[in-house]
């Protein structure tokens, strides 16, 4: 699970999960679709029908007079076969 950073929990991602069995997560921008697909199938034991991905640009941040930018990232939407599901992603407890 090196490529997947964390699950995305937004209104749209919850709607996709309930209607279409689609899971949304942010992944490392250098990882490929096949790497993510194989790691998800092996780790969770599910079958993937389709994967959609898009690259999101980092947001501009200002610190005084210096303008910087956050890191770019990639988001994957994974569609599972009917009958398969991924257990909820859990936050680390401190």
pLDDT digits 0-9 by tens, 43-75: 889 999 999 998 988 899 999 999 999 888 899
Residue 44 CA to residue 80 CA, distance in Å, equals: 11
Residue 79 pLDDT grade (very low, low, confident, very high; cuts 50, 70, 90): very high
Q: Domains plus CATH for the chain?
A: 4-60+67-80 (3.30.70.330)
pLDDT digits 0-9 by tens, 8-57: 888 998 889 888 889 999 998 888 889 889 988 998 899 999 999 989 88
Residue 1 pLDDT grade (very low, low, confident, very high; cuts 50, 70, 90): low
- Please, which residues have CB within 8 angstroms of residue 23's CB and are 6 or more apart in sequence? 7, 13, 16, 17, 77, 78, 80, 86
Number of Cβ within a 10 Å radius of residue 1: 10
């Amino acid at each position: 699970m090196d490529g997947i950073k964390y699950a995305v929990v937004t209104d749209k991602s919850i709607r996709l999960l309930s209607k279409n069995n689609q899971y949304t997560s942010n992944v490392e921008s250098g990882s490929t679709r096949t790497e993510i697909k194989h790691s998800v199938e092996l780790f969770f034991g599910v079958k993937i029908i389709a994967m959609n991905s898009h690259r999101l640009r980092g947001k501009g941040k200002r610190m005084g007079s210096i303008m910087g930018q956050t890191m770019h990232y990639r988001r994957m939407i994974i569609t599972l076969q009917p009958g398969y599901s991924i257990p909820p992603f859990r936050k680390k407890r401190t």
